[in-house]
């Protein structure tokens, strides 16, 4: 029915959706009225407003025009990526690089890391 965007874009979708809902509330617009005024299909607009779909640029411009704001209004103050996700990504990339090493090199690297860990505890 709609594209399931990656988990990395979930905070973006939710931020845009919240800003749209806030502007609609301020202007006393329902989802149906807003979609009609913007020339958007109700179902498409509904998925955007509920944060289930990220709007395409053309759609974001229509929404901005319909709510009397500039398109960049929706891109200001975006949530920062989760630091845990960054660390997980970094760990994954490190492990991927380690897998490219030959077994003796992997063993050497593991010993170096163990020694470093012991020294940091002292």
If you search the block for the tokens 């319909």, which residue do you land on? Answer: 66
Domain residue spans in the chain?
A: 7-74, 86-121
Task: Tell me how crowded residue 28 is: count the other CB atoms within 10 A of its CB.
Answer: 7
Within the chain, residue ranges assigned H as helices are 10-27, 31-38, 42-49, 57-66, 83-99, 103-121
21: three-class secondary structure by DSSP: helix
- Cα angle vertex 80, ends 77, 85, to 5°? 160
pLDDT attached to residue 75: 83
Instruction: Give the pLDDT confidence of 32-75 residue by residue, as tens digits.
Output: 999 999 999 999 999 999 999 999 999 999 999 999 999 989 88
pLDDT of residue 81: 61
| More confidently predicted of 7 and 69 | 69
| Per-residue pLDDT tens over the stretch 71-122 | 989 888 766 666 556 666 777 777 777 778 888 888 888 777 777 766 666 5
> In the predicted model, is pLDDT for residue 1 greater than 50?
no
Residues 6 or more apart from 31 whose CB is under 8 A from it? 24, 42, 45, 46, 49
9 by DSSP, 3-state: which? helix
How high is the pLDDT of residue 22? 97
Looking at CATH, the fold of the domain delimited by 7-74 is given as 434 Repressor (Amino-terminal Domain) (1.10.260)
- Report which of 98, 122, 96 is spatially closest to residue 110, judged by C-alpha positions: 98
**CB–CB of 60/13 below 8 Å?**
no
């Amino acid at each position: 029915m709609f594209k399931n965007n990656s988990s990395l874009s979930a905070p973006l979708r939710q931020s845009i959706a919240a800003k749209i809902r806030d502007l609609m509330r301020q202007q006393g617009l329902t989802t149906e009225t807003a979609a009609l005024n913007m020339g958007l299909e109700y179902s498409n607009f509904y998925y955007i407003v509920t944060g289930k779909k990220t709007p395409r640029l053309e759609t974001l411009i229509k929404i901005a025009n319909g709510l009397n704001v500039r398109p960049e209004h929706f891109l200001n103050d975006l949530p920062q990526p989760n630091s845990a996700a960054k660390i997980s990504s970094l760990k994954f990339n490190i492990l991927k690089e380690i897998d490219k090493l030959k077994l003796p090199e992997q063993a050497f690297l593991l010993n170096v890391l163990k020694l470093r860990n012991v020294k940091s505890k002292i």
